[in-house]
Amino acid sequence: MSVKYVLAIHAGCEGITREYYGPEAVEEHLAFLRKSLAAGRAVLDGGGRGVDAVCATVEVLEDCPLFNAGRGSVFTHDGTIEMDASVMSGEDLSAGAVAGVTGIKNPVRAAALVLEKSPHVLLIGAGADSFAQSWGLEEMGPEYFQTARRREEYLAAQKQAGEQFGTVGAVCIDSAGNLTTASSTGGITCKEYGRVGDSPVIGAGVYADNASCAVSCTGEGEFFLRRAAATRIAALVEFGGLSLEAAASTVLENIRALGGKGGLIGVDAAGRVAFSFTTRGMFRGLARQGEPDRVAMFGPPGIWQ
Ligand code: ASP
């Protein structure tokens, strides 16, 4: 039986206000969201698998210097770039992730290789970089990742406390009815050398299970880790009888109660989607088979059915 595919994306949720983004910047960011959806659609229209669709989608956002993943990743406290990414398939709970990679152009591809080619789930640091290199993934030097804008933010963040974060991600139900998720991030500006957030941690920043839903989170990773956010949403759907939207709101409120904020996207086995956030906006987009793309960045949150 063929299912109508659904693909949802996010590209971070921090500092998205109308005061900060003028009309031109809004259009520029939304154009990249549309480009990302188009890449995922190209895979899904050809009958491709969700894993390939979410990777193609996230790859466009990693290549875009505007978002905090791949090119355009934020700087660590030491002025270096350390990226995290993950992919999970709800069909068989296979998963792959990398943390602290420094020279791979598309960390989400490295995560997919861990899923497909290795017996492991999570590779870190130099080992993850060299694993990706051994499979021929494209490498880039530090100057590719370190954009002028991120350097300015880094220098400002060194002087005053405050954080800058962002992640890109995608969730999908493909025409075989399988749920998939992916995330990719540079983490949080001025993070400690070696810090890993929620995005490459299966169950925290991402989770996908055909029995419930696929989720990709963005926000203050430490809180999503402490709440095991993505798997908690899946459990509330599977065992708690909550709708995906109610489960997403519950977990974001749990995180707020701890003092954290963020957002997430999800899709369930019936193709219902959730776009939830406790910040003022979230870069987001939705592609449903046979319907026009929808993209947005400011609040309020909500579901586009
Ligand atoms: N969750 C990411 C991290 O903590 C950052 C973000 O999504 O904004 O690394």
Look at residue 158 in the predicted model and tell me its pLDDT: 75
For helices 229-238 and 244-258, the axis angle rounded to 10 degrees is 140
What are the residues whose beta carbons fall under 8 Å from the beta carbon of 141, sequence distance 6 or more?
103
Give residue limits of the domains in the chain: 6-298
- Residue owning the nearest CA to atom 9 of ligand 1: 187
- Residue owning the nearest CA to atom 7 of ligand 1: 218
- Give dist(CA 18, CA 177) in Å, integer: 37
CATH for 6-298 (3.60.20.30, 3.50.50.60, 3.90.79.10, 3.40.50.2300): 3.60.20.30
Considering 57, 147, 167, 185, which one is annotated as catalytic?
A: 167
Pocket test for ligand 1, best of 167, 192, 278 (most atoms within 8 A of CB): 167
pLDDT one digit per residue (tens) for the chain, 305 residues: 689 999 999 999 999 999 999 999 999 999 999 999 999 999 999 999 999 999 999 999 999 999 999 999 999 999 999 999 999 999 999 999 999 999 999 999 999 999 999 999 999 999 999 999 999 999 999 999 988 888 888 888 777 655 677 899 999 999 999 999 999 999 999 999 999 999 999 999 999 999 999 999 999 999 999 999 999 999 999 999 999 999 999 999 999 999 999 999 999 999 999 999 999 999 999 999 999 999 999 988 875 65
- Give dist(CA 122, CA 127) in Å, integer: 10
Look at residue 288 in the predicted model and tell me its pLDDT: 97
Instruction: Return the closest-CA partner of residue 224 out of 86, 112, 53, 62.
Output: 86
Residue 60 class from Cβ within 10 Å (0-12 exposed, 13-18 middle, 19+ buried)? buried
User: Is 218 a pocket residue for ligand 1 (Cβ < 6 Å)?
Assistant: yes
| Total count of residues recorded for the chain | 305
